[in-house]
Structure 1
Amino acid sequence: MSRRNIAALVAMLALGIGIFWYELRATNLQQLTHDLTHLNFWWLGVAALCMGLYWLFEAFVVKVLLKKRVEKFSLKNALRIPLVEQLFNSITPFSSGGQPAQLVALMQSGIDGGRASSLLLMKFVVFQAMVLINFILTLVFGFHLVAAKFTYLAWLVVFGFIMHLTVIAGLLMVMYWYNFTKKLVHLCLRPLKLFMKAERVAKIKEQLDHKIDNFYAESLRIKRDTKTIVVASLLTFIQLIFYYSVPYFVLLSLGLNKTNFFEVLVMHIMIVMIISLFPIPGGSGGAELSFKALFATFITSNSKLVLAMILWRVMTYYLGMFIGMFAMVVKPDKVVELKDQT
């Protein structure tokens, strides 16, 4: 990790401690101690297991997407990819550092940079599509749970949905209307000349053209390899369900046994969509606020609500950050042989 990344990591840990302290200052410490000593660590272990399975299934997705390109890509190598991604997603705005970090991790395993980029593009498309499908199902079956009680959060959720839909729409446009999309991007870049030097705009145009060309070339392979995409999509869907289930088991660990699994799932999907709107790494601040606002309907005790928020945040954010640091120092196995792309 560079000094800049280490500084970002320290800053996010400090911010997290500050947020937790702020939430705890108005909490009855005696009641909080009581809730801590009566935690059901078995259910808390299940929550941690869900996060482990979330990363494991992402590793399976990596192996599936590499199956026809690489010989003997080990599970250790595959598992290292989502863990490194988790670390850099956690310390960069809008999780922008995850993709480059995965690219480096794949290249460290001996995979050609072009092939690694293609795999990550495919993986990104599949992941975004499954997030969108999960969210659409949530809107259809559970949006009323949020809209009826928290109008301001409901609008944030809708805005998050529009952002994700725009990303998917842009990817589909590249796949099916390649020439039109390039012309549209060039048109959108023209106003930048009013604020930036022509050389800078030309460089941005060149970079975007390169990314669009790479994605289009990969999209042609995606269309030909339907079986692989279907398998990767199913694995990603299951992966997300494990992640969305984490707060349910956190609530069970606090003795809230009458909690409805589906309602918690809906609430967590909404929170994840809201978090994506915040530019601060990990959505810090917005994540905690959203959790407390939505899960206050399940938890009447303030000490349990704050404790649930802290445990959820540790499981879904800080745990991956620390395991990701360990994954960074693990030496990957070199691939035996790279096959020609099909």
Structure 2
Amino acid sequence: MTRKNFWMLIVMLAVGMGIMGYELRQTNLRVLVHSLLHLKLGWLAAAVGCMCLYWLFEALVVRLLLHKRVGHFSFKNALRIPLIEQLFNSITPFSSGGQPAQLVALMKSGVEGGRASSLLLMKFVVFQTAVLVNFIFALLFGFHWLAGKFTYLSWLVIFGFVMHITVISALLMIMYWYRLTKRLVQLLLRPLRLFLAPARVDRWQTQMAEKIDTFYAESLRIKRDRKMLCQAIGLTLVQLFFYYSVPYFVLLALGASANFLQVLVLHIMIVMIISLFPIPGGSGGAELSFKTLFTSFLATNSQLVLALILWRLITYYMGMFIGMFALIVKPDPLETDK
């Protein structure tokens, strides 16, 4: 971890403590302590277990995508990848640090740089596809819950949906209309020459062309191995199911009665809203969305704040600290097939 990332970690922990302190300022501490002492630990353990299964299934996806491309890749090495990704996603804007951190972790595990980049491209396509499937499910079965009570949040959800459709469309264009996509990129960058140095624009164009070439080459492999692609998407859908289930078990731990489908759908929408905030971890937006959407499930504001704190500890801060541990764990040497 670089010094810059270390300080970002400290900043995000301080921001998190500040937000939690702000949320606690108007709570009845007696009610909050009573709720904390009477937590149903079995349900809380289920919430933690769901988060652990989320990382476990992502590790299975990593091993699946590396199958037949490298020697034996240990499960320990595979599990390090999502944990390190979680750490760097949590401390960088728009989760932009996760991809480079995974690349470094794979290369330190013995995976050649080109293959590691191809794996991450493939994993990105699989993850975005699974996210889109879940989001379409949420829109079909639960958007009316959101639109009926929280109009302003529904617009954020729609904007998030448009952004994800744009990303998927761009990926599909590269896969199926490679030359057209490169020409469109050149056309879109051309007006920038009026405002920026031509050398900088040329550099951006070269970098984007290289990324398009790399993704197109990997897409050919994806199309050849559709069985593996379907298996990876299936595992990722299960992975996301566990993640989206966490708030349900947090609510049960606080003694609330909740409809599983409704909580699942609302959490999918919260995650979509969080992805729009440039602040690492969606700090501020995540807390606001959670309190807004789950306020009707709990009897008091103190319980709602406690649910918010538990949810953020499990889905955000727990991964951050486990990721720090995974970062210092030495990977197993890559075994070559005999």
Instruction: After the TM superposition, list the runs of 4 or more consecutive aligned residues in structure 1 that deviate by more than 2 angstroms.
Output: none
The one-letter code sitting in structure 2 at the alignment partner of 1:270 is M
Task: Please list the CA deviations of residues 5-62 of structure 1 after superposition, one character each: whole Å capped at 9, or x if unmatched.
Answer: 0000000000000000000000011111111111111111110000000000000000
The equivalent residue for 1:227 is: 227
The equivalent residue for 1:187 is: 187
Change (3 A) 1:338 1:103: farther
What secondary structure sits across from 2:322 in the alignment?
helix
Task: Please list the CA deviations of residues 124-162 of structure 1 after superposition, one character each: whole Å capped at 9, or x if unmatched.
Answer: 000000000000011011111111110000000000010
Q: CA–CA distance in 2 between the matches of 1:73 and 1:196?
A: 45
The equivalent residue for 1:13 is: 13
Task: Please list the CA deviations of residues 50-100 of structure 1 after superposition, one character each: whole Å capped at 9, or x if unmatched.
Answer: 000000000000000001111210000000000000000000000000000
Pair 1:151-2:151 in alignment: yes
What secondary structure sits across from 2:297 in the alignment?
coil
The equivalent residue for 2:295 is: 296
Q: How does 1:98-109 map to 2 (within 5 A)?
A: 98-109=98-109
The one-letter code sitting in structure 2 at the alignment partner of 1:122 is M
The equivalent residue for 2:336 is: 337
Q: CA–CA distance in 1 between the matches of 2:221 and 2:318?
A: 35
Q: CA–CA distance in 2 between the matches of 1:118 and 1:338?
A: 20
Task: After superposing the two structures, state which structure 1 stretch, 180-189 or 296-305, moved more.
Answer: 296-305
What secondary structure sits across from 1:71 in the alignment?
coil
Retained in 1: the 8 A contact 2:250–2:310?
Answer: yes
Q: CA deviation at 1:195?
A: 2.0
What secondary structure sits across from 2:330 in the alignment?
coil
The equivalent residue for 2:276 is: 277
The one-letter code sitting in structure 1 at the alignment partner of 2:237 is F
Give the paired residue count: 338
Q: CA deviation at 1:118?
A: 0.3
Q: CA–CA distance in 2 between the matches of 1:334 and 1:163?
A: 39
Pair 1:168-2:168 in alignment: yes
The equivalent residue for 2:63 is: 63
Task: After superposing the two structures, state which structure 1 stretch, 152-161 or 292-301, moved more.
Answer: 292-301
Pair 1:4-2:32 in alignment: no
Change (3 A) 1:82 1:121: same
TM-score by length of 2: 0.99
Retained in 2: the 8 A contact 1:111–1:338?
Answer: no
Pair 1:208-2:208 in alignment: yes
The equivalent residue for 1:111 is: 111
Retained in 1: the 8 A contact 2:24–2:305?
Answer: yes
Retained in 1: the 8 A contact 2:72–2:337?
Answer: no
Q: CA deviation at 1:306?
A: 0.4
The one-letter code sitting in structure 2 at the alignment partner of 1:255 is G
The equivalent residue for 1:250 is: 250
Q: CA deviation at 1:338?
A: 7.5
Q: CA–CA distance in 2 between the matches of 1:208 and 1:338?
A: 35
Retained in 1: the 8 A contact 2:122–2:222?
Answer: yes
Q: CA–CA distance in 2 between the matches of 1:195 and 1:40?
A: 60
The equivalent residue for 2:51 is: 51
The one-letter code sitting in structure 2 at the alignment partner of 1:23 is E
Retained in 2: the 8 A contact 1:69–1:338?
Answer: no
Q: CA–CA distance in 1 between the matches of 2:336 and 2:213?
A: 27
Q: CA–CA distance in 2 between the matches of 1:338 and 1:329?
A: 27
Change (3 A) 1:168 1:43: same
Task: Please list the CA deviations of residues 261-308 of structure 1 after superposition, one character each: whole Å capped at 9, or x if unmatched.
Answer: 000001100000000000000000000000000001212310000000
Q: CA deviation at 1:185?
A: 0.6
Task: After superposing the two structures, state which structure 1 stretch, 330-339 or 164-173, moved more.
Answer: 330-339
Pair 1:178-2:171 in alignment: no
The equivalent residue for 2:262 is: 263
Please list every run of 5 or more consecutive structure 2 residues that lacks an aligned counterpart in the other structure. Answer: none
What secondary structure sits across from 1:337 in the alignment?
coil
Q: CA–CA distance in 2 between the matches of 1:110 and 1:185?
A: 34
Q: CA–CA distance in 1 between the matches of 2:27 and 2:323?
A: 32
Percentage of identical aligned residues: 69
